[in-house]
Amino acid sequence: MDTQHLPILVTVGTGTSNSPQATLRQRVEWENFQMFLEALYLGSSFETVADMEASANLLVDRIKVAQARATTLFPHRHLAAVTCP
């Protein structure tokens, strides 16, 4: 291919497979997440479709790792019911 401007296909799911259990809540440190992604290197040359697919898969994997490293899980706090007189 003679251009470095190749399209990127991203698939976003709406399932809950990456969601924490209902008994946990999470806090994401967005600065850490950004720092992890800024250090991301995907390669400098995309000569073939296979190169592009490998880089796209690497990108997805690195985003998942960055999310896991920047996320802290906490026990879910149950709020007591408040009744008004």
The overall pTM is greater than 0.85 = no
- What tokens does 80 get? 């007591």
What is the residue range of 50's domain? 1-85
Taking only the tens place, the pLDDT of each residue in 35-70 is 888 887 776 677 888 888 888 888 899 889 888 888
Average pLDDT score, the chain = 76
Q: Is 43 left (phi over 0), alpha (psi -120 to 50) or beta?
A: left
Q: H/E element holding 30?
A: helix 30-38
The number of domains in the chain is: 1
Q: In this predicted structure, what is the pLDDT of residue 18?
A: 58
Q: In this predicted structure, what is the pLDDT of residue 16?
A: 59
